Chain A
Amino acid sequence: MANDNLKAIWRAGSMLAFFALVGVVLLVVVQWLTKDQIAENARLMKLQRLHEIVSAADYNNDLLASAQTLPLSIEGLADTAKKYTASKSGTAIADIYEVTSLQGYSGPISLVIGINADNSLRGVRVISHKETPGLGDKIETSKDDWILQFAGKSLQNPELNRWKVRKDGGDFDQFTGATITPRAVVNAVREVLSINE
């Protein structure tokens, strides 16, 4: 009797092990087949983000290879940032920062911020956010032009103490119904400009 039980357990166990093995083989094969494509997709996604700021014609270095990780200790920003440097034939064109603001209304807001060699802003774009649809999401270019206003601005234009949303006594418009989201973006851009100088 005990022997029969043992046999049944043995049988069930080895069956399960066999199917687990089949599963593992299947996963290994699929992963092996797709891994290049997935890595390539991730690379293109990254490049696409940076190309929002610097078009492919404006630089000729390997942008992704120029990435540096910067430690930050600024209130309201995540504690690491990434910095890419675009250059053409050896001359630096722009620095591009990937930072995450922690001051969003409902979660972190990831931004790319491009700064020209003369310390003026080349452009700012949102990579990801969880702001309220219809209110805070006007920071996306597909919803509103708000974020385009940063191009050309610098720490001298407007003055540093005006680098705030209007509600805080600064020069930047908030949107109706949402102050926290634009405030987070404006503050992040200002801080990045300051560290770049």
Chain B
Amino acid sequence: MSDVNYKQIIADGLWNNNAGLVQLLGLCPLLAVTNNAVNGLGLGLATLVTLLISNGSVSFSRHWVSREIRIPFYVMVIAANVTVVDLLMNAYLHNLHNVLGIFIPLIVTNCAIIARAEAFASKNEIIPSIVDGFMMGLGFLVLLVVLGGMREVIGSGTLFANASVMFGDAAQGLTMQVFDKDYPGFLLAILPPGAFLGLGLIIALKNIIDDRLETKRIAKRQQEKAAAEAASKVIGGVPASE
């Protein structure tokens, strides 16, 4: 298909239809693991990989899977590849796997993944489906890192603490002390309510930005319209009819 609008896919995944911010899917892991940026990044990456593979395989096999069995088929594809990701992380990213614990297998229950399978991958070619999976996953990942980072900075005054859990000892330098060492930490941000408050604030911020953009767009359209009308008056010399 040559008429795939990649720009649209990218904009949807990252912003307009962001899995966490707009569809509000996958809230369970999103709220639970984001008490620091590294956890958010870890779960975000795992979700991203899962989305990529599941979108790819659903799209690849969409002609053989009839409508009646598509839901069990998606569940199977997603469960199998989450298990694969879980095993691989357990083997090669053991420390991070320990930190994220139960939330890796729980990616299976992240509705964002089955939603993309049904809404996009089952109707589109394989390449656009993979791009869609990547962009949706990336949008989710960025949200997880932003929310995690926000809670970490407010809650404990650091950013990317424990980066070594994920990237090995070389990454120790990544840790930033945002506030000074004596910062007592704002406990609420790290505790579960902080996740809800943080997510709420980010959604509010997104809505404000969208509102601003929309107002600007309308203003611009009106301006253009007015300019066009003015031009037609000058050229035609006859007032435009109502």
Cβ B69 vs Cβ A16 within 8 A: yes
The one of A27, A45, A134 in contact with B190, judged by C-beta atoms closer than 8 angstroms, is A134
Cβ A34 vs Cβ B64 within 8 A: no
The one of A16, A30, A45 in contact with B94, judged by C-beta atoms closer than 8 angstroms, is A45
Number of interface residues of A (CB under 8 A): 22
Complex CA–CA separation, A38 to B86 (angstroms): 11
Cβ B84 vs Cβ A27 within 8 A: yes
Complex CA–CA separation, A31 to B91 (angstroms): 10
A selection of 20 A-B contacts at a CB cut-off of 8 Å is A8-B68, A11-B66, A15-B66, A16-B69, A16-B72, A16-B73, A19-B77, A34-B88, A34-B91, A37-B91, A38-B91, A38-B94, A132-B187, A132-B191, A133-B185, A133-B187, A133-B191, A134-B156, A134-B184, A135-B187
| Contact of A148 with B by CB under 8 A | no
The one of B73, B98, B155 in contact with A19, judged by C-beta atoms closer than 8 angstroms, is B73
Residues from chain A with a CB closer than 8 A to the CB of B79 are: 23
Tell me the chain B residues, 51-98 only, with Cβ under 8 Å from chain A. 61, 64-66, 68-69, 72-73, 76-77, 79-80, 83-84, 87-88, 90-92, 94, 98
Complex CA–CA separation, A8 to B66 (angstroms): 9
Expressed in whole angstroms, the minimum distance between the Cβ of A66 and any Cβ of chain B is 24
Residues from chain B with a CB closer than 8 A to the CB of A27 are: 80, 83-84
| Contact of A12 with B by CB under 8 A | yes
With CB as the reference atom, state the residue of chain A lying closest to B83.
A27
Complex CA–CA separation, A26 to B54 (angstroms): 14
Residues from chain B with a CB closer than 8 A to the CB of A20 are: 76
Residues of B within 8 A of A (CB): 35, 61, 64-66, 68-69, 72-73, 76-77, 79-80, 83-84, 87-88, 90-92, 94, 98, 155-156, 184-185, 187, 190-191
Secondary structure at chain A's binding surface: helix, strand, loop or mixed? helix
Residues from chain A with a CB closer than 8 A to the CB of B91 are: 34, 37-38, 41
Tell me the chain A residues, 130-157 only, with Cβ under 8 Å from chain B. 132-135
Tell me the chain A residues, 5-49 only, with Cβ under 8 Å from chain B. 8, 11-13, 15-16, 19-20, 23, 26-27, 30-31, 34, 37-38, 41, 45
Expressed in whole angstroms, the minimum distance between the Cβ of A43 and any Cβ of chain B is 11
Cβ A19 vs Cβ B83 within 8 A: no
Given the interface contacts A12-B69, A19-B61, does A37 sit within 8 Å of B187 by beta carbon?
no
Expressed in whole angstroms, the minimum distance between the Cβ of A5 and any Cβ of chain B is 11
Complex CA–CA separation, A1 to B55 (angstroms): 35
With CB as the reference atom, state the residue of chain B lying closest to A11.
B66
Given the interface contacts A15-B64, A37-B92, A45-B94, does A30 sit within 8 Å of B84 by beta carbon?
yes
Residues from chain B with a CB closer than 8 A to the CB of A31 are: 87
Expressed in whole angstroms, the minimum distance between the Cβ of A90 and any Cβ of chain B is 34
